[in-house]
């Protein structure tokens, strides 16, 4: 009789990371009845942990069959945020802050695992920012795995960081010279580097340390698929320093349980009704993630660019958080005329809709949507790919510049807008590239909405391949099967 296998996951506290983790757990449980999953939840301090609470409540209230019952969510005691008095650089790097907060939970993670039936624990699966938990796995004699929620190409960048640091010993510089990252088919221009790789206040060093620890795990599970990133996957397979890589994606929350509804009551229904009245593939959707927000000068340029295209549009606008303190973008009160060009709403009435929060999963799946102006977060990217919707690449933060570069220059799935654009977090000292002008926006949006265009055709083809990858016999289906075999093989080695 086959031994049962229990997996312990430690995701990063962000909602996008947790949703991907649970959806991957569901996929494992559907494939093998002998597996069960425990997910240890670390929470951000308010207000950033509030969306986790909402999602957990939604998940627990919508248990879907026996598979979901084999997922146990354990919320760890909430620790105080790291103090800037002990490390003055903490406020100047979100990545350094997150890594420090998670590392402080190491004793709690160890205690939680010890409370399980340890002989049945087949592996500890950690997130990008949770590599400090590899020490817990080593102490307990448990194999560790990495669950990487971004692209294979960016995984390659993370694995390249220690090599760069050993050669140069410092952060990257915006020299204009290409960065020789093997996982990108084209040379990676340094001007497109994400802010974290330029951050001298703990951001760069934190990411480099994580990248160095990636090589210690038994395997790396990636939310991507072989057909999407053939060059990146080949570069890692051929690398002697990379652990085995298992592309298991796209892993998506197609039921939209993880969508935190910031907007007004009834907003979802109003948006979907409006889309129902639009012609097929006629609407360009603009949405920039939970942290994406622009100042009024940039919003005016977006409005002018959209109007000049003559395209139908659905535009999600969020209010930037105050410069002081820690908070998330919020919805405006609906009076957009205060900062948009005079008469804009009247002139675009019937062909355009402005909203706050938007049900992105459902919008991208709607027949009326023909293009997506996106920040290129990886979850958003995979949702767009799944639905065959071409993108306009406008990266803002995190690793999005890397994603945008790959999507536009290598994969042909996006029209590039401003690949070196950045928004600042906390005390980051970066050049945001200035205001993106209406002319640039008009050109990019018109390009992505062009009927019969190459990007549109490529997006539809990749959408079909994404669905084939996760279907029986597909590349990701096979990768999940191989991974399950490895879990059981490692479990049999335990004394």
Instruction: State the CATH number of the domain containing residue 73.
Output: 3.40.50.2000
Per the DSSP assignment, residues forming a β-bridge with 391 are: 372, 414
Q: Kindly give, in sequence order, each residue whose CB lies less than 8 Å from that of residue 352, ignoring residues fewer than 6 positions away.
A: 306, 312, 313, 314, 315
- Whether 153 and 273 map to the same domain: the answer is no
Tell me how crowded residue 412 is: count the other CB atoms within 10 A of its CB: 16
Q: Does this model's pTM top 0.85?
A: yes
- Whether 242 and 303 map to the same domain: the answer is no
Q: How many domains does the chain have?
A: 2
Residues 349, 105: Cα–Cα separation, whole Å: 51
- Give the model's confidence band at 184: pLDDT under 50 very low, under 70 low, under 90 confident, else very high: very high
Q: Report whether pLDDT(431) > 80.
A: no
How do strand 188-189 and strand 283-287 relate by DSSP bridges? Answer: unpaired
- Residue 457 in domain: no
Q: Report whether pLDDT(429) > 60.
A: no
- Residue 71 in domain: yes
- Give the model's confidence band at 72: pLDDT under 50 very low, under 70 low, under 90 confident, else very high: very high
Q: Report whether pLDDT(386) > 80.
A: yes
Q: Kindly give, in sequence order, each residue whose CB lies less than 8 Å from that of residue 130, ignoring residues fewer than 6 positions away.
A: 10, 11, 12, 102
Q: Which of 45-59, 116-130, 259-273 has the highest mean pLDDT?
A: 116-130
- Residue 258 in domain: no
**What pLDDT sits at residue 434?**
85
Over range 142-157, report the average pLDDT: 98
- Whether 333 and 222 map to the same domain: the answer is no
- Give the model's confidence band at 443: pLDDT under 50 very low, under 70 low, under 90 confident, else very high: very high
- Whether 275 and 302 map to the same domain: the answer is yes
Domain that holds residue 412: 267-449
- Residue 458 in domain: no
Per the DSSP assignment, residues forming a β-bridge with 354 are: 315
- What backbone phi and psi angles, to 5 degrees, belong to 71? -110, 120
- Residue 63 in domain: yes
- Whether 236 and 106 map to the same domain: the answer is yes
- Whether 228 and 336 map to the same domain: the answer is no
Q: Report whether pLDDT(245) > 90.
A: yes
Provide, rounded to the nearest whole percent, the portion of the chain with pLDDT above 70.
Answer: 90
- Whether 167 and 275 map to the same domain: the answer is no
- Whether 74 and 216 map to the same domain: the answer is yes
- Residue 158 in domain: yes
- Give the model's confidence band at 410: pLDDT under 50 very low, under 70 low, under 90 confident, else very high: very high
Name the strand (E) or helix (H) holding 29.
helix 15-31
Residues 138, 428: Cα–Cα separation, whole Å: 35
Q: Report whether pLDDT(61) > 70.
A: no
Q: How many residues does the chain have?
A: 495
- Whether 441 and 481 map to the same domain: the answer is no
- Give the model's confidence band at 240: pLDDT under 50 very low, under 70 low, under 90 confident, else very high: confident
- Residue 259 in domain: no
- Whether 15 and 99 map to the same domain: the answer is yes
**What pLDDT sits at residue 270?**
94
Q: Report whether pLDDT(51) > 80.
A: no
- Whether 274 and 390 map to the same domain: the answer is yes
- Whether 197 and 67 map to the same domain: the answer is yes
Provide, rounded to the nearest whole percent, the portion of the chain with pLDDT above 90.
Answer: 72
Between the alpha carbon of residue 105 and those of residues 35, 42, 76, 90, the distances in Å are 25, 8, 8, 17
- Lowest model confidence (mean pLDDT) among 44-58, 174-188, 288-302, 387-401: 44-58
The gap from C-alpha 229 to its chain's centroid, in whole angstroms, comes to 16
- Residue 255 in domain: no
493 exposure class (CB count in 10 Å sphere: 0-12, 13-18, 19+): exposed
Q: Report whether pLDDT(93) > 90.
A: no
Q: What is the pLDDT of residues 79-90, one digit of tens each?
A: 988 875 555 555
Over range 471-477, report the average pLDDT: 98
Q: What is the pLDDT of residues 252-309, one digit of tens each?
A: 998 876 565 545 545 889 999 999 999 999 999 999 988 888 999 999 999 999 999 9
Three-class SS state of 72: strand
> What is Dmax (Cα atoms) for the chain?
73
- Give the model's confidence band at 177: pLDDT under 50 very low, under 70 low, under 90 confident, else very high: confident
């Amino acid at each position: 009789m086959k031994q049962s296998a229990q997996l312990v996951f430690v995701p990063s506290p962000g909602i996008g990371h947790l949703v991907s983790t649970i959806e991957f757990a569901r996929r494992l449980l559907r494939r093998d009845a002998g597996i069960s999953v425990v997910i240890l939840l670390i929470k951000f301090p308010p207000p950033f942990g509030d969306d986790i609470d909402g999602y957990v409540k939604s998940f627990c209230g919508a248990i879907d069959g026996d598979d979901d019952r084999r997922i146990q969510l354990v919320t760890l005691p909430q620790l105080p945020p790291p103090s800037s008095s002990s490390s003055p650089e903490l406020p100047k790097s979100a990545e350094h802050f997150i890594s420090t907060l998670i590392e402080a939970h190491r004793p709690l993670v160890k205690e939680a695992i010890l409370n399980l039936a340890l002989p049945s624990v087949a592996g500890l699966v950690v997130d990008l920012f949770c590599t400090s938990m590899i020490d817990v796995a080593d102490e307990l004699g448990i194999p560790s795995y990495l669950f990487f929620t971004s692209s294979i190409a960016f995984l390659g960048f993370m694995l390249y960081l220690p090599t760069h640091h050993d050669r140069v010993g410092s952060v990257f510089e915006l020299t204009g010279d290409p960065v020789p990252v093997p996982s990108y088919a084209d040379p990676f221009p340094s001007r497109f580097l994400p802010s974290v790789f330029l951050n001298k206040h703990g951001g760069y060093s934190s990411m480099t340390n994580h990248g160095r620890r990636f090589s210690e795990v038994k395997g790396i599970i990636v939310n991507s698929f072989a057909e999407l990133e053939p060059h990146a996957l080949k570069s890692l397979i051929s690398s002697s320093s990379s652990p085995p890589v298992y592309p298991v994606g796209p892993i998506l929350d197609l039921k939209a349980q993880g969508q935190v509804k910031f907007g007004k009551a009834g907003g979802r229904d109003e948006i979907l009704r409006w889309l129902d009245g639009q012609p097929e593939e006629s609407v360009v959707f603009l949405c920039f993630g939970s942290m994406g927000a622009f100042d009024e000068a940039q919003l005016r340029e977006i409005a002018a660019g959209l109007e000049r295209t003559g395209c139908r549009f659905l535009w999600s606008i969020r209010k930037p958080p105050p410069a002081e303190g820690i908070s998330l973008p919020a919805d405006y009160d609906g009076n957009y005329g205060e900062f948009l060009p005079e008469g804009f709403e009247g002139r675009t009435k019937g062909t355009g809709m402005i909203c706050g929060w938007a049900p992105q999963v459902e919008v991208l799946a709607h027949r009326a949507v023909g293009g997506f102006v996106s920040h290129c977060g990886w979850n958003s990217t995979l949702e767009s790919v799944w639905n065959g919707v071409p993108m306009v690449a406008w990266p803002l933060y995190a690793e999005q510049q890397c994603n945008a570069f790959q999507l536009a220059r290598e994969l042909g799935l996006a029209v590039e807008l401003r690949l070196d654009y950045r928004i600042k977090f906390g005390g980051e000292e970066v050049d945001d590239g200035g205001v993106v002008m209406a002319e640039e926006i008009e050109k990019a949006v018109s390009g992505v909405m062009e009927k019969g265009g190459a990007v549109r055709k490529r997006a539809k083809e990749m959408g079909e391949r994404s669905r084939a990858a996760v279907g029986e016999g597909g590349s990701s289906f096979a990768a999940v099967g191989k991974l399950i075999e490895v879990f059981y093989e490692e479990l049999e080695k335990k004394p």
